[in-house]
Structure 1
Amino acid sequence: MATKRTTKPPKAPAPPEPSICSPCDGSGMVAATVRVGRKRRPVGQQDGLCLNCLGSGTSPDA
């Protein structure tokens, strides 16, 4: 009995890896300084959503 030849379909190229957002370093969160008082003195920091990538952590320019 003759052997049956089969061809494999060509492999699709791998999708490019997304680049990391630089302001938040890929975490999706950035620190914002909290200011209080009449002289607006800084008292601490709180986490906020990164407005560059909108919390996804990937660069929107890529």
Structure 2
Amino acid sequence: MATKRTTTKPPTATAPAPVEPATCQPCGGTGNVAITVRVGRKRRSVGQQDGLCLNCLGEGTDPSPGTDA
């Protein structure tokens, strides 16, 4: 009768911890940036309003270059 071969089980691979995406620098992760409102012929500043962040397009996460297809 042949001898029985025994092998050890390979260690189970644990999944790496999920990496949180970095926040966008211009908007600080909010997706909004302050835009100065100008009025009049001399274009004086009267206040600010919220505008969409053009870097992340309102997502709030840092776009990683090179992921576009």
Structures share a fold, TM > 0.5?
Answer: yes
Which TM-score tier does this pair reach, normalised by the shorter chain? 0.7 to 0.9
Count of residues paired in the alignment: 56
**Cα RMSD (Å):** 1.8
Which one has the largest radius of gyration? 2
Q: Is 1:20 aligned with 2:23?
A: yes
Q: Cα deviations across residues 20-61 of structure 1 (Å, max 9, x unaligned)?
A: 100000010000000000000000000011000001111002
Normalising by structure 1, we get a TM-score of 0.78
Percent of paired sites with the same residue: 68
Give 1:9 shift: 4.3
**Misfit runs of 4+, over 2 Å:** 7-10
Give 1:10 shift: 2.3
Normalising by structure 2, we get a TM-score of 0.71
Unmatched segments (≥5 aa) in structure 1: 1-6
Q: Which residue pairs with 1:30 in the alignment? A: 33
Give 1:8 shift: 7.8
Partners of 1:9 and 1:55 lie apart in 2 by 40
Unmatched segments (≥5 aa) in structure 2: 1-9
